[in-house]
């Protein structure tokens, strides 16, 4: 895949492949367990991102602050986004469609379309 051509839909397609691999590698009993596992992964990854952000703000122990790197924070951000896309795929959510809808709502709410 050419990273310069990464769109939301291509990202979703890439993560469908990842999700299928994960579901084959670590099969769960049913769809509900898959959704639960994906939801817990989002929570885990969000916690790791929050930890990196707090560290970047010098709100962590000195050893963590000394080891901080922006690359780690970016990796955690990517993990959150990837986990959300995996969850969306499990829930059959059209990510591009719901984001377009939410952007329109937000722009309308704040009068940005006037």
> How does pLDDT run across 95-110, given as a tens digit for each residue?
999 999 999 999 999 9
Q: How far apart are CA 79 and CA 98, in angstroms?
A: 20
Q: How far apart are CA 83 and CA 92, in angstroms?
A: 14
Assigned domain for 15 exists: yes
38 CB burial (10 A radius; 0-12, 13-18, 19+): buried
pLDDT tens per residue, range 44-80: 999 999 999 999 999 999 999 999 999 999 999 999 9
Q: What percent of the chain has pLDDT above 90? A: 94
CATH code assigned at 76: 1.10.287.1080
Confidence tier at 2 by pLDDT (50, 70, 90): low
Q: What is the pTM of this model?
A: 0.90
Report yes or no on 2 lying in a domain.
Answer: no
74 to 67, 79, 87, 102: CA distances (angstroms):
15, 9, 20, 24
pLDDT band at residue 3, thresholds of 50, 70 and 90? low
């Amino acid at each position: 895949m050419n990273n310069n051509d990464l769109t939301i839909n291509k990202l979703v397609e890439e993560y469908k492949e990842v999700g299928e691999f994960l579901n084959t590698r670590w099969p769960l009993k049913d769809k509900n367990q898959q959704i639960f596992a994906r939801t817990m992964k989002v929570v885990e990854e969000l916690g790791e991102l929050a930890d990196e952000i707090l560290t970047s703000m010098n709100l962590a122990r000195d050893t963590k602050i000394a080891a901080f790197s922006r690359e780690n924070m970016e990796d955690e951000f990517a993990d959150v986004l990837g986990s959300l896309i995996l969850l969306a795929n499990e829930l059959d959510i059209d990510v591009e469609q719901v984001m377009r809808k939410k952007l329109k709502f937000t722009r309308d709410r704040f009068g940005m379309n006037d």
